[in-house]
A and B are shown apart, each in its own frame.
Chain A
């Protein structure tokens, strides 16, 4: 149980375009989801906390107008990278909290974004 599906797994886009990444909890409801970014040979960096039905909370230094997060249902959160640039190329990973005190968080398989 507790599967998080992330789509697409890989995407290449042109500089200046926008890209949407979906994160779905398949067999549980997730009121809270999290978005991370990971550059090569670095650890995961938390970008934002996505709350169903309310605005996302962004970590310091993350541009909320560039990384739009929508959590419109209990099973879906989306991250849209707007006006993407080559420096936005990274591995984006979402996670969802299963239940308090339980197995923590389940992570998606990640999305490799390449901006050319």
Chain B
């Protein structure tokens, strides 16, 4: 896996956009970037993934820098239910997922 670095924790006001950064400077050309989140005592939930282009789905947007060394997950209108730990992962060619420490996002009313 490419090593990923994320801030340990972040706060976001309810209704505002939450921007979660991830550094993956050692990523190789064919490694996707995946984002998952884990709400307490549940299994991780898929959010979005991308390779080079920015991506958007019903949950979030993913912005990947041109050099692919970093990305930002954007939750456009954070709600209290978005409080979770968010993981950025760049799996290796063997496709194992190794989780880093993630970012604990707290959405504040």
The answer to whether B99 touches A91 (Cβ under 8 A) is: no
A105 touches B43 (CB 8 A): no
Interface string of A77-105 (1 = CB under 8 A from B): 00000000000000101010100110111
Please, which residues of chain B bring their CB within 8 A of the CB of A105? 46, 97
A107 touches B44 (CB 8 A): yes
State A108–B96 Cα separation when bound (angstroms): 16
Q: Is A25 an interface residue (CB 8 A)?
A: no
In the complex, residue of chain A having the shortest beta-carbon distance to the beta carbon of B94:
A49
> Across the interface, which residues of A come within 8 angstroms of B87, CB to CB?
43
Q: Can you list, as one digit per residue, whether each of B26-38 has a CB less than 8 Å from chain A (1) or not (0)?
A: 0000001010101
Let me know if A43 and B101 touch, CB within 8 A: yes
Interface size in chain B (residues, C-beta < 8 A): 22
Interface size class of A (residues with CB under 8 A): 20 to 34
**A103 and B46 contact, Cβ closer than 8 Å, known pairs A43-B101, A43-B102, A112-B41:** yes
Whether A43 and B100, one on each chain, are in contact in the complex, defined by CB atoms closer than 8 angstroms, is: yes
B42 near A104 (CB under 8 angstroms)? no
Chain B interface (Cβ < 8 Å from any Cβ of A): 32, 34, 36, 38, 41-46, 49, 87, 89, 91, 95-102
List chain A positions with a Cβ less than 8 A from chain B. Answer: 4, 6, 32, 34, 36, 43-46, 49, 91, 93, 95, 97, 100-101, 103-110, 112
List 10 additional contacts besides A93-B44, A105-B46, A110-B43; criterion CB under 8 Å. Answer: A4-B43, A6-B43, A43-B99, A43-B100, A44-B44, A44-B99, A46-B99, A49-B96, A95-B44, A107-B43
